Chains A and B, each alone.
Chain A
Amino acid sequence: MIADNKIELHIPSVMGYEKTAMECAASIAKKMGFTEDRIEDLKTAVAEACLNAIEHGNKMDTSTKVGVTLTVEKTKLQVAVKDEGKGIGEIQPPHIEDKMEGKDKSRGWGIFLIKSLINEVSFESSPEGGNITKMVIYLEK
């Protein structure tokens, strides 16, 4: 759905569909004039936010959807990823040493990557239920 400067899509809560949202975001960022490097950063961040929503938010329940809203502004692209879940609480930053030694499970890099690659990120609860990951990437970092 396209309304003015907003593009909305809904993907099934199935691993692999994050690539649809990722490619859509990349296509818009390319039109906006983002550099190839920043487009790659955006692709990873969007994919990881969708994966979190699919896996942790919606618990891979195929009756649920993940909503992705891309808002185009002159100097930035905003991406909101919404699930239908109850939230996953605070996640500690991962340390590879702990994972290498088996002290921590090897998963858990998604939020770390989003925070590392995107200019602004926030995690909110939606008033209608569900969680929203809001990300902003600027044309010039």
Chain B
Amino acid sequence: MNKDIQISISQKDEVSILYIKGDITVNSGETIEEAYRKVSNAGAKKILFYFDKDGYINSGGIAILIGIASESKKNGQTIRITGLSSHFQKIFNMVGLTKYTEIFPSEELALKGF
């Protein structure tokens, strides 16, 4: 477990929610990937990543998320994202992650119609 990050997992109907508190970097990547694989191995097809609005995300962290997005595409899963600050919403859009994931302003809206 990386001390820069804490992840808790919950289930709401068919959606697996990963609550991620902390920094998204190469150092915390393994913890994020482990959490993703845990829900994936349990058969999750709809996954919501709930990020920390005050968390730090760098290019290494973006690469980790691209890797997860790529794996989810192969697994036929849908990923939604919430909790991001407006800055990181812009960054996700710039790098093209929003072509493969959808960003929502709140958990409630992300779960609606998921």
Contact = CB atoms under 8 A, between A and B. Distances in A.
Nearest to A95: B96
A112 interface: yes
Contacts of A51: 58-60
Tell me if B's interface is mostly helix, strand, loop or mixed.
helix
B67 interface: yes
B87 A96 contact: no
A105 B59 CA distance: 13
A107 B96 contact: no
Interface stretch (A12-20, A62-70, A119-127): A12-20
Interface of B: 4, 25-27, 56, 58-60, 62-64, 66-67, 69-70, 73, 85-87, 91, 94-97, 99-100
A110 B25 CA distance: 12
A99 B70 contact: yes
Given A105-B63, A106-B63, A113-B91, 10 more contacts: A15-B25, A16-B25, A22-B56, A47-B58, A48-B58, A48-B59, A96-B66, A96-B96, A97-B96, A113-B94
Interface of A: 15-16, 18-19, 22, 37, 40-41, 44, 47-48, 51, 94-97, 99-102, 105-110, 112-113, 116
A7 to B, nearest CB: 21
Contacts of B100: 96, 100
A112 B95 contact: yes
Contacts of A44: 58, 87, 91
Q: Which 5 A-B pairs have the closest CB atoms?
A: A96-B96, A40-B87, A109-B59, A106-B63, A110-B59
Contacts of A47: 56, 58
B98 to A, nearest CB: 10
